[in-house]
Structure 1
Amino acid sequence: RLEALLEDLPQARVTVQPPRPQREVMKELLNTARQNRKDPCLQFRFDDDDAVAVDFIETLRTAVADCAAFLPRHRSVAFDWNKGYNARFGADGIRAAQTFRPFYTAALAMHVRGGCPRTIMNFGHEKLPQFMPALSFPDKPMFVRGHNGYNDSRQKGVKPVRLEPVDDEMAAMFRQRFAIDVEAVKRAFSG
């Protein structure tokens, strides 16, 4: 089923790994995926219930180009888009709330200098600015973070977020900005 979902995304690969610590697996996979380790690369990480805006990659590439003179002086540089939404998806559609959260997992990327073995998985997402220069962009909503009862969004000590049903205007924005259609969500969770 997962492979069928990725048919139209040739750059995505499904790999099967024996059980071991997730960070170690991800670091290894990221470095193995680099076509030429002597070249710089851009890395990002998402949880399985995260989404980014349809222009995330384009916006990231523009930010990297704007920093072209700065990047070679650092082993790694973080790029953070910190405005987005927490959302819950279900048979009743989408419930959401706008959020501002610096260095959240979604809409966070890292430029890695050529020859550097670091990966974005070497660091906790909120700790990236402790180990490298970091740029934050609070301009436009760039992520949707799943907020539900079956993943790490509900860990102990996490402050509850009040989510409201999306109105027509917000539903249109979700469709345009994130390619998430409220009617498709309802159908997917009702079937």
Structure 2
Amino acid sequence: MHVQMLGLCRFSYLGGRGFQVTHDSIEERRAFLYDPARLERRWFWFENITLPGILAQTDPDYTLVMMTGPDLPEPYLSRLHELTTLAPQLKLALVPPMEQHWAACLAAVAPHVDPKADVVGHFRQDDDDAVAIDYIHHARQDFAAMEPLWQQQRRLYCDYSRGLVLKANRNGVQVQPRVIHNASVGLTVYLPPDVQSTAIHFPHWRIALSMPGVTMAERLMYVRFLNHDNDSGMIGAGFPLETGSEDWAAILADRFRVDLATLDDAARQFGLPGADRPRWGK
């Protein structure tokens, strides 16, 4: 059975609903998203957290659609274009502002669905989170064991729930290993190719109401990065894991190709507190 792995990464997409930080007008939202200092931080996290792991996948057979607006300021729009020339797995979708966020995400993803695939493994890749370098490999391989369950409703999710939470503020970056139930990162939604839905169509915190699921927590599979520019910054339901003498810098480098010292220095240089969100870091 052929499983297509298809992800969506929204980079400062200018649109209507779909986020917890709201604005009274599209002009106000554009000013917020395209603020030069904010875009500088967003690109830094994207380049140093998200890209290293996704580009180092042990199974390179996947597509990641990078979704943004056609008026994203330079040099960031050109940088996204350049990425598509460096990595064939990366595709760029320029979507004009749309009020219905689900429709906008579908407009970005739908052209890249392989109609010949038996199953599409949709995943959501936020632009400041990371997946382990073997995420695609396991998401495709593990589906074989889950296929009988998928056949019942022809929809299924797999939650790789063990990961690392990194909290960044003016004092640097703290690392906490954690199990998070159905976090947005490390969550795969398996659907038939003819279904007009993406991972975004199923809110991750209540996805169990939409389909059966499987949880796998034996290996570190994601990095959830909490920083000043998070939309909400909630950790989500779950629990911290006991720690010993782990070398988190070595683990981050090995599993995610992330340099902890670089992130720590950047957090201090940006000099920002935790985000002013009611449940940031909780």
TM-score under structure 2 normalisation?
0.57
Please state how far the C-alpha of 1:32 moved relative to its aligned partner. Answer: 2.3
Give the match for residue 171 of structure 1.
249
Tell me how far apart the structure 2 counterparts of residues 3 and 182 of structure 1 sit (CA, whole Å): 27
Give the match for residue 166 of structure 2.
87
Question: Which of 60, 68, 79 lines up with 2:139 in the alignment?
Answer: 60
Please state how far the C-alpha of 1:5 moved relative to its aligned partner. Answer: 3.5
Q: Does 1:96 align with 2:175?
A: yes
Gaps in structure 2 of 5+ consecutive residues:
1-78, 271-282
Preserved contact between residue 39 and residue 115 of structure 1 (Cα < 8 Å): no
SS in 1 for 2:253: helix
SS in 2 for 1:70: helix
Query: What value does the CA root-mean-square deviation take over the aligned residues?
Result: 2.9
Give the match for residue 7 of structure 1.
85
Which one is further off, 17-26 or 44-53? 17-26
Q: Which has the higher contact order (CA 8 A, sep 6+)?
A: 1
Please state how far the C-alpha of 1:117 moved relative to its aligned partner. Answer: 2.4
Give the match for residue 142 of structure 1.
221
- Equivalent runs, 1:1-191 vs 2, <5 Å: 1-20=79-98, 21-36=100-115, 39-89=118-168, 94-154=173-233, 169-185=247-263
Letter in 2 for 1:15: A
Which one is further off, 24-33 or 106-115? 24-33
Letter in 2 for 1:11: Q
SS in 2 for 1:14: strand
Please state how far the C-alpha of 1:96 moved relative to its aligned partner. Answer: 1.5
1:132-160, Cα deviation, whole Å (9 max, x unpaired): 010011111111111012112436xx89x
Letter in 2 for 1:17: V
Tell me how far apart the structure 2 counterparts of residues 5 and 58 of structure 1 sit (CA, whole Å): 22
TM-score under structure 1 normalisation?
0.82
Structure 1 segments, 4+ long, off by >4 Å, are 89-93, 186-191
SS in 1 for 2:208: helix
Tell me how far apart the structure 2 counterparts of residues 77 and 26 of structure 1 sit (CA, whole Å): 20
Q: In structure 2, do the counterparts of structure 1 residues 96 and 187 end up closer, same or farther at CA, with 3 Å as the change threshold?
A: closer
Tell me how far apart the structure 2 counterparts of residues 38 and 46 of structure 1 sit (CA, whole Å): 21
Count, aligned residues: 184
Identity across aligned pairs (percent)?
24
Preserved contact between residue 77 and residue 132 of structure 1 (Cα < 8 Å): yes
